[in-house]
Structure 1
Amino acid sequence: MASSMLTENRPLFSLSHSGIRYVCVSGHAQACMALRAADQAAYGGCVGLLSPPGAVAFMGVSWWHALMDGVAESATRSFVHVLDCDSSPAGALMALRCGQQAAILRQQNPQYETVRALYAQQNAALLPQCPPSFNLITPLSAISSLVGYFAHGYCQHQHPENNVPDTRQKKDCST
């Protein structure tokens, strides 16, 4: 599948994960909001768009690629995108076959190392867990909070019982 010019569907090996500010999105408006917020904050680093947890199973690879291609058409900056395959090695392999260059497969999966090796053969990145991110899927989506994330490195911790952002400064956050 051909990627749009601004979409960087490429391996993340050359990028330090700490050098990427990830935002979890589930639609076009959220993804565009994240990119606009990075621009408003004059964020010079790389923006990473993450799919919702386990999205490969309920949204699919084609949907994710269509979404990212649509976002790239109106984007003013480049970005990388990562598809969350949760614990599905079949989903991760389907994503790789469809050209996905960065995906998440939980490391505790027995097939993780085999799938990781196949990703490496294709110069693609397979992450063992979701990197720290700002979650736009939750009800909180205030643009000022997102701009603060890009401008000042505020963190957002996710707890199973409480998926509300923690807006402590980065120096106070542990990932």
Structure 2
Amino acid sequence: MIDKHDHYMPPVTVSGAGELALVTATAASLRINCAVVSPPGAGCFMGVPWWAALVAGCPLPAWLDCGQAAGHAAAALRAGLSGVIVSATAPQHHALVSLARMTGGHVLRQRPHALELPAKGARDALERYLRASHIP
């Protein structure tokens, strides 16, 4: 993922407050920026309010994966979320990009490759991933 200043920010999948806290703290301690992404299709089965509540106050760029559901992506942008991932038709994508311009959000056509935190050794795996992705 690329931020506004053209810096690569490695994406990490988070599905709950514990994972988000781990990613936020680890990125801060290493002084390496990253982005957080919801699990695939989470905008459809967990919903926009869930992601909005989870990432409220998160200092990292956060992306809600809405699968193919352009309606959920539009709802997320209207709710003030800054990033959505949606595999939409060309007309839907065009409409979402227009909406994102008005809300200050961003739309990705496809999910980036993101680190899935393992059940054991998540901090170590995250540190290795962030260090390997960091280009000084």
TM-score bucket of the superposed structures, by smaller chain: 0.7 to 0.9
More helix by share: 2
Q: Match for 1:91 among 68, 72, 79? A: 72
CA contact (8 A) 1:21 1:47 kept: yes
Q: List per-residue Cα deviations over 1:47-91 (Å, max 9, x = no partner).
A: 21111111111111111111112xx4xx7xx21111111100110
State which of 126, 129, 134 in structure 2 corresponds to 1:149: 129
1:14 positional shift: 1.5
State the identity %.
Answer: 28
TM-score by length of 2: 0.83
How many residues of Structure 1 are paired with residues of Structure 2 in the alignment? 134
Q: Structure 2 CA distance, aligned partners of 1:126 and 1:115?
A: 7
Q: For 1:126, what is the secondary structure of its paired residue?
A: strand
The residue aligned with 1:30 is 19
Question: Who is 1:125 aligned against?
Answer: 106
Could you say which residue in structure 2 is the equivalent of 1:167?
A: none
Q: For the structure 1 residues 48 and 139, does the alpha-carbon distance in structure 2 shift closer, same or farther, using more than 3 Å as the test?
A: same
Unpaired runs of 5+ residues, structure 2, are none
One-letter amino acid matched to 2:68: S
TM-score (norm 1): 0.66
CA contact (8 A) 2:78 2:103 kept: no
Q: Which runs of 5+ in 1 are unaligned?
A: 1-11, 155-169, 171-175
Determine the C-alpha separation between the residues in 2 that align with 1:107 and 1:95.
14
SS of the residue corresponding to residue 62 of structure 2 reads: strand
Structure 2 vs 1, CA of residues 57 and 147 (structure 1 numbering), >3 Å: closer, same or farther?
A: same
Classify 1:140/1:127 alpha carbon distance in 2 versus 1 (closer, same or farther; 3 Å).
farther
| CA pair 63-15 structure 1, distance change in 2 beyond 3 A | farther
CA shift for structure 1 position 121: 2.9
